[in-house]
Amino acid sequence: MNEISEFPIEVINEIKYYVYRLIDPRNGETFYVGKGKGNRVFQHIKCAIAEDELDEINEKYQTIRQIVSIGLNVIHVIHRHGMDEQTSLEVEAAIIDAYPNATNIAGGTGSNDYGPMNAKEIVEKYASQEAEFKHKVLMIVINKSNTQKSMYNATRFAWKVDKEKAEQAEYVLAVVQGMIRGVFIANNWKDASINNFPEMNEDCPDRYAFVGVEANQSIKELYVGKRVPTEYRKKGASNPIKYNYKKTA
């Protein structure tokens, strides 16, 4: 059977929204999880080999190009289909959680609030006191896995923020699964580039990062270990950036 590169229209009408995995035939490992409809599952391969996509070579595209270069095909698995969009978002998030080594840049919808936790973390999250904000704070939801290297680096880059609004924050809070885990003072927001931040692996156009310091102990005691207030934790919200203040002129 020839390799399928697109679905017939009658198939598209039947499968509706679906969640899929891209698998590397060289080792059988899932390297990307996504959701979509129509021919979304096939678009990654087309983008990876298109000449006009050379400025977007991320890890996912690199993997696809390596597979194609040796004459193999990416394996597509439709993990679940026949869903509406909201259901597909939930399923996608759960599968991303199950494949932490995939090349997805961001976790699935709600993963940082409702993703894998042990029993102790569940109790801590829902039994802990809510934070009472006494300052202008910028909350950044970060992936739990990123904090294993450095809470500071996991918090400071790289984000799509309104630079002027971000600069008005008195403190930047690192939020992991709804809990405040770190507090920093951002002294300077800069373009998220290797030139400004050698620790980064690649430039991130249209994103910013900050140079700063950890807040003092009295400020950390106000916030660290407390829950983000419910009004800032809407289920299904995918934007990792939240403010408790409005931008001033």
pLDDT in tens, 32-53: 999 999 999 999 988 887 755 4
pLDDT at 20: 94
pLDDT at 99: 85
pLDDT at 108: 54
Sign of the alpha-carbon torsion through 10, 15, 21, 25: negative
| Average pLDDT estimate for 60-70 | 90
> Is the separation of the CB atoms in 160 and 140 below 8 Å?
no
Give 223-245 pLDDT, tens digit per residue.
999 999 988 876 656 688 999 99
| DSSP-assigned beta bridge partners for residue 99 | none
Give CA–CA dist 240/73, Å, rounded.
Answer: 34
CATH code of the domain made up of 9-109: 3.40.1440.10
Give 188-231 pLDDT, tens digit per residue.
999 999 999 988 878 888 899 999 999 999 999 999 999 999 88
> Is the separation of the CB atoms in 61 and 48 below 8 Å?
yes
3-state secondary structure of 209: strand
Tell if the pTM clears 0.85, that is, is over it.
Answer: no
Give 89-134 pLDDT, tens digit per residue.
989 988 888 887 776 655 555 555 666 666 777 767 677 899 999 9
Hey, what amino acid is at 30?
Answer: T
Give 67-89 pLDDT, tens digit per residue.
999 999 999 999 999 999 999 99
pLDDT at 23 over 90: yes
Torsion, Cα 58 62 63 66, to 10 degrees, reads 180
pLDDT at 1: 43
pLDDT at 244: 96
> Is the separation of the CB atoms in 114 and 235 below 8 Å?
yes
**Token digits of residue 28:** 């059988």
The larger pLDDT score, comparing residue 247 to residue 100, is at: 247
The set of residues, in sequence order, having a beta carbon less than 8 Å from that of 177 and lying 6+ positions away, is 112, 113, 114, 115, 117, 121, 125, 144
pLDDT at 113: 63
DSSP annotation of 7 reads -
Q: Where are the domains of the chain?
A: 9-109, 114-243
Give 147-193 pLDDT, tens digit per residue.
566 899 999 988 999 999 999 999 999 998 888 999 999 999 999 99
pLDDT at 56: 45
